[in-house]
Amino acid sequence: MDVPQSVLNALLVLKEMQDKLKKELGPDGYMDYNLTICQANGRPIMTEHLNKRFKEILTEMNDPDMDPQEIVFHSLRHTSATTKLLMSGGDYNSVMQAGGWSNLEMLTRRYGKHSFASEREKLAGKMDDFLDGKGISDPQKNDKDEANSAEQVLQQLMKSNPELLIEFAKSFQNANKE
């Protein structure tokens, strides 16, 4: 599975934190279920608790364009799939493999219809222009401009808050220590 280096780096920091807790708590205090996100003692986190803490972090970010009450932790998977589809220009096979879906239908049924609504509108506009005799614009140039724009937005988001995953994990570690 291809994972961006920034995500791998954050996961390595999280793993180091977990390894430190394993040493501190010992085999009787740390139940190692080999989980990426877990309680400070290694045990699984209930979905409700995970979503609650995730919403608290989103609220702390204070983004006026985002309603934390409408977002759950699993939304990250949807956001990732949608962004990858847009950045790849609709390369469903690559996105399917990167996200670990077992078949293409899972990906297209869940994310395909949402991901490209604006793209379908642009295509309809291009068809109107073509049928009205205005000709065809260079689709490769437009695709590159849009991919660069999406990439710039993602890079800016990562630069503005690169430690979100780490802070999220730390909040669970600290909450479970108390």
Per-residue pLDDT tens for 143-161?
555 555 655 654 555 555 5
Query: Whole-angstrom Cα distance, residue 118 to residue 113?
Result: 10
Query: Whole-angstrom Cα distance, residue 84 to residue 87?
Result: 5
pTM: 0.54
Write the CA distances from 175 to 7, 10, 38, 115, integer angstroms: 23, 20, 11, 36
pLDDT band at 130, cuts 50/70/90?
Answer: confident
Per-residue pLDDT tens for 70-92?
888 888 888 888 888 878 877 88
Query: Whole-angstrom Cα distance, residue 120 to residue 8?
Result: 34
